Structures are given as structure tokens and as C-alpha cells.
């Protein structure tokens, strides 16, 4: 636990969010993670690599996933430094998936721009993403823990499978809550769970502790993504903000819509078929969608689900030793839904 308390106390007055508290309590560990990230991101042979990753990996990122790994390990009294490698691993995997998501998302946004530009970005995003995956792989091998490798290999497969599943499920009104759960486990929860579980494994936790850490990460990740998907429809506000409706415009079937589709009247069903399945969207459709969501209490049903996952995350923590970090992880779970309360 060396070095965590000093930094935490001196900065205590400026602290607002649980994530800020984690960052502060784990300041020395995070500094080591950031050093390692910068060092391993470099490429002797290909200077384009740090160019592409700099804005993603350098300062600015929330670093939530590595904080989870560090917190899990420290909470179980870990005194080594392999948790730093794991934390960097997890951040590299996260960054790599962002780069690969860019290929999908940027391509759509840049539809009107010169193809050469588009291609260049695609190439760099795909290949630099692959490079970060490979670097993360090297880092985890350095920990020498086959169990950690197994956890991260399985998480990688779940992530990729979830992303592919989303390709086919997103615009299909038959997509139900079970499929949605698989998609967001891949998109978000699998890496959260691997982050906390691997931290526990590297710290030599017992089976009960490791299971609790995995369950915490999984439930936190699911709550986090449900809230994110709610916010895309304005969260609890019924006001259309500037980011409202991105998923709607991209015809991405997320939990709010899935809940509304399940309760749809025949006319509403026709509406969803037109705007989501056929992608024939017109002026006023987003407002209309939000009226339908309100009619079926879809957003508040999502909030209930998110709260239930937060409760699961917090219950899992009960199987872990009492520790200041445990308290903050519990606050973090509450904080996740506070964005829509």
C-alpha cells in the first residue's frame, strides 16, 4: 500500500468523484502505469505508432480500467509490481478496441470526405490497434501467470464476439434483452471483469475473493453501459441535448428501444421498423421515439436494471476484505448510476 495514503490526503479537498479518489489513492501506482504505457507504446521501427496512439493513450483518458486492476490487487494486500503490467495491459486492450471501433465509426462520419484520407485512417487504426494488442500480450506474458493469461484471452474473445454480434443484432428488432446483455458484456463488462479479476489473481487472492472481484467488474461494467445507453436518449431528462440520439441515428438497438419495442403497439412497431430496420428517418422521428419511450416507461425501466446491477456489484464487494479501497469501489458503483438519477 506504499505511497497511496500520502497523495490521497493532501489532495482530499479537491476530490469529488470516486474515480478521482481512486486516482489519488493509487497515484504512485498510476504514475508507474503511465511510465510503462509510454515506454511500451514506443516503436523503434515505426514512428507512426506513437503518433496514432498519443492522443488516445497519453494524458486525458480516464484510466478507469487500470485503476480497477490496481485497486483489486492493492485491496488484497499485493506488494509486488506485476499489477502495474496488468493495468497497462488492460489500458492497451481498451485503446486497441477504441482504435478498431474508429474504423467502423469514423468511416460513417466521414462519408463525404476523400477516400484516401479515409483509407489512411482505417489502415493506421487497424494496424496500430493490432500493435497495441500485441504489446498488451507481451506485457501479460511478462507476469508469468498462466491464469491471468487465460482470463485475458477469454476476455479478448468475449470482446470480439460481442462486437461482431452487435454488427448483426443492432438493426434487428428481434434483438432482445438477452442478446443486448451479451453485446454489452463484450463491449464493456468483459474488460472491466478481467481488470478486477486479474488484479485479484496476481495478488494471490483466494477463490472467493477472485470470484467476488470478477462479479464486481462484470456488474459495474453492465451498469456503466446501460447508463451510457440511457444517456443517449437524454437519461432521465426528457430534453433533447446535443449528444442525444446518436444511437438512434446510427440505428443501434440499445436497451431503451428494446424495452419499448417489447411493448410496442402495431403502429409503434411500424415506426420502429421504418426508423431502425429500414433506416428511413425523417424530421421529428427522434422526438417521436422519445415520446414512445416515455409512454412505456422505458427509461425508468432501464434505470431500475442499472440499479439492480449496481446492487449486485456492491454485494460482491462484501466478499472482499474491509479496506478503504473497497469503500471507494462501492461508491464508484453508486456513482455510475448517479448520472441518470
Binding flag, residue 123, a second copy (CB under 8 A):
yes
Among 54, 157, 238, 240, binds a second copy (CB under 8 A): 157
Decide if residue 159 touches a second copy (CB under 8 A).
yes
Candidates 11, 15, 103, 301; binder of a second copy (CB under 8 A) is 103
Burial bucket for residue 92 (CB in 10 Å: 0-12, 13-18, 19+): buried
Site string for a second copy, 137-156 (x = CB under 8 A): xx--x--x-x--xx-xxx-x
Query: Distance between CA 26 and CA 5 in Å, rounded?
Result: 8
CA triple 307-225-27, angle to 5 deg: 95
Work out whether 117 is an interface residue with a second copy (CB under 8 A).
no
Residue 98 found at the interface with a second copy (CB under 8 A):
no
The position carrying cell 434505470 is 303
Q: Which stretch binds a second copy (CB under 8 A): 129-137, 255-263, 286-294, 297-305?
A: 129-137
104 lies in the site for a second copy, by CB under 8 A: yes
- Examine residue 45 and tell whether it contacts a second copy (CB under 8 A): yes
Among 78, 131, 216, 272, contact with a second copy (rule: CB under 8 A) = 131
Binds a second copy (CB under 8 A): choice among 134, 238, 262, 291: 134
Nearer to a second copy, 7 or 149 (CB): 149
Q: How far is the CB of 129 from a second copy (least distance, A)?
A: 8
CA dist 329 and 219 (Å) reads: 12
Q: How far apart are CA 339 and CA 325, in angstroms?
A: 22
| Residue 100 vs 214, nearer CB to a second copy | 100
259 binds a second copy (CB under 8 A): no
> Does 94 engage in binding with a second copy (CB under 8 A)?
no
**Interface with a second copy includes 126 (CB under 8 A)?**
yes
Q: Which is nearer to a second copy, 112 or 284 (CB)?
A: 112
Encoded one letter per residue, x for contact with a second copy by CB under 8 A and - for no contact, window 187-226 reads: ----------------------------------------
What grid cell was written down for 314? 456492491
168 binds a second copy (CB under 8 A): yes
In the complex, the smallest distance separating the C-beta of residue 139 from a second copy, rounded to whole angstroms, is 9
Binding flag, residue 122, a second copy (CB under 8 A): yes
Check binding of 54 to a second copy (CB under 8 A): no
Nearer Cβ to a second copy (146/239): 146
Binding site for a second copy (CB under 8 A): 43, 45-49, 97, 100, 103-104, 107-108, 111, 115, 118-119, 122-124, 126-128, 130-131, 133-135, 137-138, 141, 144, 146, 149-150, 152-154, 156-157, 159-165, 167-168, 182
Amino acid at each position: 500500500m506504499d505511497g497511496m495514503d500520502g497523495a490521497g490526503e493532501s489532495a482530499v479537498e479537491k476530490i469529488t468523484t470516486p474515480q478521482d479518489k481512486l486516482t489519488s489513492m493509487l497515484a504512485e501506482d498510476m504514475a508507474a502505469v503511465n511510465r510503462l504505457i509510454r515506454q511500451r507504446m514506443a516503436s523503434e521501427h515505426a514512428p507512426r505508432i506513437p503518433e496514432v496512439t498519443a492522443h488516445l493513450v497519453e494524458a486525458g483518458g480516464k484510466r478507469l480500467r487500470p485503476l480497477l486492476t490496481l485497486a483489486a490487487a492493492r485491496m488484497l494486500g499485493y506488494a509486488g509490481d506485476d499489477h502495474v503490467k496488468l493495468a497497462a495491459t488492460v489500458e492497451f486492450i481498451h485503446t486497441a478496441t477504441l482504435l478498431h471501433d474508429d474504423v467502423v465509426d469514423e468511416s460513417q462520419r466521414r462519408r463525404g470526405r476523400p477516400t484516401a484520407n479515409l483509407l489512411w485512417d482505417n489502415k493506421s487504426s487497424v494496424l496500430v490497434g493490432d500493435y497495441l494488442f500485441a504489446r498488451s500480450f507481451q506485457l501479460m506474458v511478462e507476469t508469468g501467470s498462466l491464469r491471468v493469461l487465460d482470463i485475458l484471452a477469454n476476455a479478448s474473445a468475449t470482446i470480439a464476439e460481442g462486437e461482431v454480434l452487435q454488427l448483426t443484432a443492432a438493426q434487428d428488432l428481434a434483438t432482445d434483452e438477452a442478446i443486448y446483455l451479451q453485446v454489452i458484456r463484450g463491449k464493456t463488462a468483459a474488460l472491466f471483469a478481467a481488470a478486477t479479476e486479474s488484479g485479484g489473481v496476481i495478488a494471490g487472492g483466494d477463490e472467493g475473493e477472485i470470484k467476488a472481484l470478477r462479479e464486481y467488474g462484470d456488474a459495474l461494467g453492465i451498469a456503466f453501459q446501460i447508463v451510457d445507453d440511457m444517456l443517449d436518449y437524454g437519461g432521465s431528462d426528457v430534453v433533447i441535448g446535443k449528444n442525444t440520439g446518436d444511437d438512434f441515428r446510427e440505428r443501434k438497438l440499445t436497451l431503451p428501444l428494446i424495452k419499448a419495442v417489447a411493448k410496442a403497439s402495431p403502429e409503434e412497431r411500424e415506426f420502429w421498423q421504418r426508423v431502425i430496420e429500414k433506416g428511413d428517418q425523417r424530421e421529428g422521428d427522434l422526438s417521436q421515439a422519445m415520446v414512445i419511450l416515455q409512454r412505456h416507461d422505458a427509461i425508468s425501466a432501464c434505470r431500475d436494471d442499472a440499479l439492480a446491477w449496481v446492487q449486485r456489484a456492491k454485494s460482491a464487494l462484501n466478499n472482499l476484505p474491509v479496506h478503504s479501497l473497497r469503500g471507494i469501489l462501492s461508491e464508484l458503483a453508486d456513482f455510475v448510476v448517479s448520472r441518470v438519477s
